[in-house]
Copies of this chain bind each other. A is one copy, B any other.
Amino acid sequence: MKLHVEIAARDGAARTGVVQTARGGFTTPVFMPVGTRGTVRAITTADLEGVGAEIVLGNTYHLMLRPGADVIEALGGLHRFEDWHGHVLTDSGGYQVFSLQPKVTDDGATFRSTYDGSAHHLTPEAAVAIQEQLGADIQMVLDVCAPLPSDRATLGAAVDRTALWAGRARRAHRRVEDQALFGIVQGGDDVELRRESALRTVALDFDGYAVGGLSVGESREKMLPALQAAVAELPEDQPRYFMGLGDPVGIVEAVALGVDMFDCVLPTRLARHGTILTASGRLNIKRAEWARSEDPLDPTCACEVCSRYSRGYLRHLSVLGEPTAATLCTVHNVAWLLGFVERIREHIRCGTLEGFRSEVASIWA
């Protein structure tokens, strides 16, 4: 089903609104925590509900191998599997598969499982079918993600094959009544290729659009023009999803270009290593200076962790590697980033995003 952003307010190219799906609606701009293997690592579905997450990612590569898409289908799909009543988006598995140096032909990609070494062949049609089994509200086409830097011929070939596969995915998609299928724009850091890829993807008339293959290590100066070139060709009224971006500066800059959706493992991975997101920037909770601190992680944060626990307590648990530290720091970082995006929405509504961009840049640059 085609998704639309019901835009409530604009500030320059930035917009805030609601995307309606078969399940209900989610507000945009939105940050989507990543639940790679059926859970956001170190927290529970109840924790996700507690921080007010609206949409969560699942990872097709991992879930097709463990426990298997057929198992999840037999258990009622990802929502019932996780007892999660919000939205779910699944990636196509392409990003992980291409990181394994697969054998790629026009037909698809052959790779070996990181779990048991078994060989698997993923095609655009199979990726759609697997994601239909997983039962996400939004699924992604299988794309070809070239590393950066790559030469123009490599980036162009990735755009061509991505377009070829996108057409096949579009035609293979059957579960159209309750599942949206997003196309993915590739083209690396080449603005011309980004424009071409966007036009070719839009020509296939997808339910929503993603920009992939960026935020893979390139500088922000290379990333943002490529993103802008892609976004310029995407339909104004459909959701735009920037894959794999989760740092505060990146999010606010991409929102300013008109992006609606974000996902990243950054806040959860940082949390497990004791790096905390706060209004003043990153904080290393393991530092000795916090041993006797009664302050919360972030005095401006409304999350349960900040309302209950001192830095001294969280420093103690983190230094010892208590699993509870990973849980509490993850809850905070996810809550904090959701709160950050809520502030972005508020600034768009108030027409004050420009000032917030400067503030974010000065803190996080």
Give A contacts to B, CB under 8 Å. 37-46, 66-67, 71, 74-76, 81-83, 291-292, 294, 304, 308-310, 312-313, 315-317, 319-320, 322-324, 326-328
Chain B residues with CB under 8 A of A319: 66-67
Contact of A320 among B66, B76, B304, B328 (CB under 8 A): B66
Closest beta carbon of chain B to A133's beta carbon, Å: 13
Separation of A43 and B322 alpha carbons in the complex (Å)? 10
Chain B residues with CB under 8 A of A320: 37, 66
Instruction: Check if A39 sits within 8 Å of B322, measured CB to CB.
Output: yes
Chain B residues with CB under 8 A of A322: 37-39, 41
Instruction: Check if B44 sits within 8 Å of A316, measured CB to CB.
Output: no
Chain B residues with CB under 8 A of A328: 44
Given contacts A45-B308, A292-B71, A313-B82, contact A326 B324 (CB under 8 A): no
User: Copies per complex?
Assistant: 2
Instruction: Check if B291 sits within 8 Å of A44, measured CB to CB.
Output: no
Given contacts A82-B313, A292-B74, A312-B75, contact A324 B67 (CB under 8 A): no
Chain B residues with CB under 8 A of A76: 294
Separation of A262 and B71 alpha carbons in the complex (Å)? 40
Closest beta carbon of chain B to A96's beta carbon, Å: 15
Given contacts A319-B66, A327-B44, contact A75 B310 (CB under 8 A): yes
Given contacts A66-B320, A75-B294, A304-B46, contact A313 B81 (CB under 8 A): yes
Cβ-closest chain B residue relative to A305: B44
Closest 9 pairs between A and B when the two form their complex, measured CB to CB: A39-B324, A83-B308, A42-B323, A67-B316, A75-B312, A74-B292, A81-B313, A323-B323, A39-B322
Separation of A304 and B76 alpha carbons in the complex (Å)? 19
Given contacts A81-B310, A83-B309, A323-B326, contact A316 B41 (CB under 8 A): no
Separation of A310 and B46 alpha carbons in the complex (Å)? 15
Instruction: Check if B38 sits within 8 Å of A291, measured CB to CB.
Output: no
Cβ-closest chain B residue relative to A39: B324
Chain B residues with CB under 8 A of A323: 41-42, 323, 326-327
Chain B residues with CB under 8 A of A327: 42-44, 323, 327
Contact of A292 among B38, B75, B83, B294 (CB under 8 A): B75
Chain B residues with CB under 8 A of A317: 37-39
Chain B residues with CB under 8 A of A291: 67, 71
Separation of A140 and B41 alpha carbons in the complex (Å)? 38
Chain B residues with CB under 8 A of A316: 37-38, 66-67, 71, 81
Cβ-closest chain B residue relative to A74: B292
Cβ-closest chain B residue relative to A73: B292
Contact of A81 among B40, B66, B75, B312 (CB under 8 A): B312
Separation of A82 and B309 alpha carbons in the complex (Å)? 7
Closest beta carbon of chain B to A285's beta carbon, Å: 13
Chain B residues with CB under 8 A of A82: 313
Cβ-closest chain B residue relative to A309: B83
Closest beta carbon of chain B to A69's beta carbon, Å: 12
Separation of A108 and B62 alpha carbons in the complex (Å)? 55
Cβ-closest chain B residue relative to A272: B323
Cβ-closest chain B residue relative to A40: B324
